[in-house]
A and B are shown apart, each in its own frame.
Chain A
Amino acid sequence: MIAEAGLAALWLAAALAALQLVLGALGLTKQRAEMLGGVRRIALAQALLTVFAFACLILLFLRVDLSVALVAQNDHADKPWLYKFAGTWGNHEGSMLMWVTILAAAGGAVALFERRLNERTLIATLAAQAAIGLGFYAFLLFASNPFARLSPPAAEGQGLNPLLQDPGLAFHPPTLYLGYVGLSVAFSFAVGALVTRYVGPAFARAMRPWVLAAWIMLTLGITAGSYWAYYELGWGGWWFWDPVENASLMPWLAATALLHSVTVLATRDGLRAWTIMLAVVAFSMSMVGTFLVRSGILTSVHAFAVDPRRGSFILALLVLYIGGALALFGLRIGTVKEGSRFDLVSREGALVLNNLLLSAILGIVLVGTLYPLAVEATTGEKLSVGAPYFNSAAGPLALLLVAVMAAGPLMRWRRDDLKVVVQRLALPVLLAACALLALTIWAPQIGLLPRLGLILAAGVAAGSVAPLWKRNLRRTPLFTYGMVIAHLGIAVSLAGMASESAFIKETLVAARPGETHVVGPYKVRFDSVEPVAGPNWTAVEATLTATRDDRQPLTLRTQSRSYWAPPTETSEAAIKTVLDGQLYVVLGNAAEDGRWQLRLWWKPFVTLIWLGGAMVAFGGFLSLVGRVWRERRAYGRAEAYA
Chain B
Amino acid sequence: MKAKHQRLILVLLALVAVIGAALLAMSALKDQAAYFYTPGDVIKDSLPVGRAVRLGGMVKKGSIVREPDGVTIRFVVTDFKDEVPVVFKGIVPDLFKEDSGVIAEGKFTADGTFVADNILAKHDERYMPPQVAGAMHKSKSAEE
Residues of A within 8 A of B (CB): 161, 163, 299-301, 341, 343-344, 352-353, 356-357, 359-361, 363-364, 367-368, 371-372, 381-386, 388-389, 392-393, 396-397, 508-511, 560, 566-571, 586, 588-589, 591-593, 595, 597, 599
Tell me whether A364 and B134 are in contact (CB under 8 A).
no
Report the Cα distance A386→B89, complex, angstroms: 21
Contacts of A383 in B (CB 8 A): 33-36
Report the Cα distance A567→B129, complex, angstroms: 19
- 8 Å CB contact of A360 from B6, B20, B33: B20
- 8 Å CB contact of B6 from A300, A344, A508: A344
Query: Min CB distance, B51 to chain A, in Å?
Result: 11
Tell me whether B17 and A509 are in contact (CB under 8 A).
no
Q: With contacts A341-B3, A344-B9, A568-B125 known, is A597 near B70, CB below 8 A?
A: yes
Tell me whether A367 and B54 are in contact (CB under 8 A).
no
Contacts of A300 in B (CB 8 A): 123
Please name 14 further chain A to chain B contacts, defined as beta carbons within 8 Å, in addition to the given A364-B24, A597-B71, sorted by A numbering. A163-B123, A341-B3, A344-B9, A356-B13, A363-B18, A372-B33, A382-B36, A386-B32, A392-B28, A393-B28, A508-B71, A589-B91, A591-B66, A597-B91
Report the Cα distance A392→B105, complex, angstroms: 19
Q: With contacts A161-B124, A360-B21, A363-B25 known, is A389 near B6, CB below 8 A?
A: no
Query: Min CB distance, A572 to chain B, in Å?
Result: 11
Query: For the complex, is B29 an interface residue (Cβ under 8 Å from A)?
Result: yes
Across the A-B interface, the 7 shortest Cβ-Cβ residue pairs: A510-B70, A569-B94, A588-B91, A360-B21, A382-B36, A389-B32, A393-B28
Interface of chain B residues 7 through 62 with chain A (CB within 8 A): 9-10, 13-14, 17-18, 20-22, 24-25, 28-29, 31-36, 52, 54
Query: Min CB distance, B52 to chain A, in Å?
Result: 7
Report the Cα distance A568→B126, complex, angstroms: 11
Tell me whether A591 and B70 are in contact (CB under 8 A).
yes
Nearest chain-B residue to A384 (Cβ)? Answer: B34
Contacts of B31 in A (CB 8 A): 388-389, 392
Query: Min CB distance, B35 to chain A, in Å?
Result: 5
Report the Cα distance A233→B29, complex, angstroms: 27
B35, B94, B95 pick with most chain A CB within 10 angstroms: B94
Contacts of A371 in B (CB 8 A): 29, 33
Report the Cα distance A368→B22, complex, angstroms: 11
Query: For the complex, is B115 an interface residue (Cβ under 8 Å from A)?
Result: no
Report the Cα distance A348→B22, complex, angstroms: 25
Interface size class of B (residues with CB under 8 A): 35 or more
Interface of A is mostly: mixed
Report the Cα distance A588→B66, complex, angstroms: 13
Report the Cα distance A371→B28, complex, angstroms: 12
Contacts of B111 in A (CB 8 A): none
Contacts of A301 in B (CB 8 A): 123
Report the Cα distance A352→B125, complex, angstroms: 49
Q: Give me 29 A-to-B residue pairs in the complex whose CB atoms sit less than 8 angstroms apart, sorted by A's number.
A: A161-B123, A161-B124, A299-B129, A301-B123, A343-B6, A344-B9, A344-B10, A363-B25, A364-B24, A381-B35, A381-B36, A382-B134, A385-B29, A385-B32, A386-B52, A388-B31, A388-B32, A388-B52, A389-B31, A389-B32, A389-B33, A392-B24, A509-B71, A510-B69, A560-B94, A568-B124, A569-B94, A571-B94, A588-B71
Tell me whether A386 and B34 are in contact (CB under 8 A).
yes
Contacts of B29 in A (CB 8 A): 367-368, 371, 385, 389, 393
Contacts of B13 in A (CB 8 A): 353, 356
Q: With contacts A341-B3, A567-B125, A597-B91 known, is A360 near B36, CB below 8 A?
A: no
Tell me whether B6 and A341 are in contact (CB under 8 A).
yes
Nearest chain-A residue to B22 (Cβ)? Answer: A363
Query: Min CB distance, A344 to chain B, in Å?
Result: 6
Contacts of B95 in A (CB 8 A): 568-569
Interface of chain B residues 104 through 144 with chain A (CB within 8 A): 105, 123-127, 129-131, 134
Tell me whether A589 and B92 are in contact (CB under 8 A).
yes
Report the Cα distance A464→B86, complex, angstroms: 49
Report the Cα distance A300→B52, complex, angstroms: 21
- 8 Å CB contact of B17 from A357, A382, A593: A357
Question: A-B contact count, CB below 8 Å?
Answer: 129
Tell me whether A356 and B28 are in contact (CB under 8 A).
no
Interface of B is mostly: mixed
Contacts of B24 in A (CB 8 A): 364, 392-393, 396-397
Tell me whether A368 and B25 are in contact (CB under 8 A).
yes
Report the Cα distance A155→B36, complex, angstroms: 42
Contacts of A570 in B (CB 8 A): 94
Query: Min CB distance, A311 to chain B, in Å?
Result: 13
Contacts of B28 in A (CB 8 A): 388-389, 392-393
Contacts of B17 in A (CB 8 A): 356-357, 359-360
Contacts of A356 in B (CB 8 A): 13-14, 17-18
Contacts of A591 in B (CB 8 A): 66, 70
Query: Min CB distance, A471 to chain B, in Å?
Result: 31
Nearest chain-B residue to A512 (Cβ)? Answer: B70
B1, B3, B20, B33 pick with most chain A CB within 10 angstroms: B33
Contacts of B52 in A (CB 8 A): 386, 388
Nearest chain-A residue to B124 (Cβ)? Answer: A161
Report the Cα distance A382→B138, complex, angstroms: 13
Nearest chain-A residue to B133 (Cβ)? Answer: A299
Tell me whether B70 and A566 are in contact (CB under 8 A).
no
Q: Mark B77-99, 1 if CB is under 8 A from A, else 0.
A: 00000000000011110110000
Q: With contacts A356-B14, A363-B22, A364-B24 known, is A599 near B32, CB below 8 A?
A: no
Report the Cα distance A589→B72, complex, angstroms: 12
Contacts of A386 in B (CB 8 A): 32, 34, 52, 105
Contacts of A569 in B (CB 8 A): 94-95
- 8 Å CB contact of A299 from B18, B33, B130: B130
Contacts of B91 in A (CB 8 A): 508, 571, 586, 588-589, 597, 599
Report the Cα distance A163→B34, complex, angstroms: 27
Tell me whether A384 and B36 are in contact (CB under 8 A).
yes
Query: Min CB distance, A241 to chain B, in Å?
Result: 11
Report the Cα distance A599→B32, complex, angstroms: 28
Tell me whether A385 and B123 are in contact (CB under 8 A).
no
Tell me whether A360 and B18 are in contact (CB under 8 A).
yes
Nearest chain-A residue to B94 (Cβ)? Answer: A569
Report the Cα distance A332→B17, complex, angstroms: 27
Contacts of B134 in A (CB 8 A): 382
Contacts of A511 in B (CB 8 A): 70
Nearest chain-A residue to B130 (Cβ)? Answer: A299
Report the Cα distance A593→B69, complex, angstroms: 11
- 8 Å CB contact of B10 from A352, A367, A588: A352
Report the Cα distance A343→B3, complex, angstroms: 9
Query: Min CB distance, B59 to chain A, in Å?
Result: 14
Contacts of A364 in B (CB 8 A): 21, 24-25
